[in-house]
Chain A
Amino acid sequence: MDRHDGEWRSRRGILKAAGALAAGCGAAMLVRPARATPASMQIAIRNVVGSAAVQQGKVTLDIPPLVENGSTVAVSVAVESPMTPTDYVKAIHIFTEKNPQPNVISIHLGPRAGRANVATRMRLVDTQKIVAIAELSNGSFWSDTADVIITLGACLEDVI
């Protein structure tokens, strides 16, 4: 799409851009939206955990400490558990502190998982803290946190 040709700066270009947008194919520019805060992350965690205490331990949140691009960050969570029918991990949740919304993913498992280990790729809008919380079959909650620094490449599509 010609959306970044010099033309767009002219009036004709802006009208063309508006027309293109109306046709449903406008370009997108990242404008910093309202962010989550550590407080809203705590509220999101409370929604999942209720009034139970969250203890540190059993959970390993693996995420690179320095990331080249926040749009795709590999993250994995492993929870120590024998994964038997009487002692297993019921759920794993990931939260962020500064993304526009604190929830990242909520995973539901059972003893059939064999191993409480999941990996995915997430978005991080800025340098921040990530929290992983595991819920065990006995109703207890365990967590791990990690800090990630986000850098950003030069020479992108949009003039920021």
Chain B
Amino acid sequence: MKPGITKLGFVRSGALIAVLCIMMMHSTFAEIPLAERRSGYDLLSRETRAMQNDDTANPGMLWVLDGEALWRAKAGTAEKACADCHGDARETMKGIAARYPAFDPARGRPVDLEQRINICRSEQQKAPPFAYESKDLLALTVYVTRQSRGMPIEGAVDERLKPFVDAGRALFTRRLGQLNLTCAQCHDDNWGQKLAGNPLPQAHPTGYPVYRLEWQTVGSLQRRLRNCLIGMRVEPYAYGSPEYVALETFLMWRARGLPVETPAVRP
């Protein structure tokens, strides 16, 4: 069976080409004014919002429950659980995810929450680090981030993060890939307009790790960024690349003040 271009695929590429033509004509790279920033939540349908709002119906909560179990489970040759050092996550992890990626002095660069969990795992628990996008790593990340739900994103106030915010901004505004598109062209200049039938969000990482309906599972911000890059026909970076961490740092700076929604639901 040949994977032909379906009518839907054809319409989508047509729509994409139309948007590109408009974008190539004028690209302003104008940052969204602080007061106009909106989470992708505002663009969701009523039903998807209902899925996110109800903790008894939000599929992401299944990962939160798994994460809670992992938090208490002893691991590694050190036979330690996260709880042994960090106690009750509901107290000790409050606000943590809201200020990640955070600068790691030992490494001289920021690390995101997934990397921090793996650092604890290998250095403190003496256990092999989790693979990116593994169920366990996602569960722990969602569980920790969930403890910051409702809190405003701190947004890279640490001065040592400034060069990385700048590096992330450079990536965000650079033309990339076969379509020669920048992230800013869709997400700064054309948010709210439709691309292939769905509205473009401003792309704030308020709800990550997110339950993406397309994946039918929870996934990290890096996975979503890879999807963006593939959509733009850019060769995606490998998981854990400094490019992703720079982008995440910039995106969290760009989303400063917006509340954490994890686990969010998105199409």
Contacts and interface: CB of A to CB of B under 8 A. Distances in A.
B18 interface: no
A71 B238 CA distance: 27
Interface in B1-24: 1, 3-4, 6, 8-9, 12, 16
A155 B230 contact: yes
Interface in A25-55: 29, 31-32
Interface stretch (A62-70, A84-92, A100-108, A130-138): A62-70
Interface string B212-249: 01111000000100111011110110110000000000
Contacts of A29: 3
Q: Interface centre among B51, B236, B239, B267, by most A CB within 10 Å?
A: B267
A154 B201 CA distance: 11
Contact of B230 (A4, A74, A153): A4
B53 interface: no
B176 interface: no
Contact of A154 (B47, B215, B226, B231): B231
B197 A156 contact: no
B230 A68 contact: no
B197 A72 contact: no
A73 B214 CA distance: 11
B73 interface: no
Contacts, number: 84
Contacts of B8: 126, 152
Nearest to A127: B8
Contacts of B133: 1
A5 B198 contact: no
Interface in B59-118: none
B267 A153 contact: yes
Contacts of B16: 154
A74 B231 contact: no
Given A157-B214, A157-B227, A152 B196 contact: yes
Contact-size category for A: 20 to 34
B51 A154 contact: no
Interface of A is mostly: loop
Nearest to A9: B235
Given A64-B47, A69-B213, A157-B215, A152 B3 contact: no
A38 to B, nearest CB: 18
A152 B7 CA distance: 12
B1 A31 contact: yes
Given A68-B45, A72-B216, A5 B3 contact: no
A147 to B, nearest CB: 16
Contacts of A64: 45-47
Nearest to B16: A154
Return the 9 tightest CB-CB contacts between A and B, nearest first: A155-B231, A151-B197, A68-B267, A6-B235, A69-B213, A69-B267, A74-B47, A72-B213, A154-B195
Given A31-B3, A74-B50, 16 more contacts: A1-B133, A4-B226, A32-B1, A67-B45, A72-B51, A74-B47, A152-B196, A153-B214, A154-B198, A155-B227, A155-B230, A156-B230, A157-B227, A158-B230, A160-B6, A160-B12
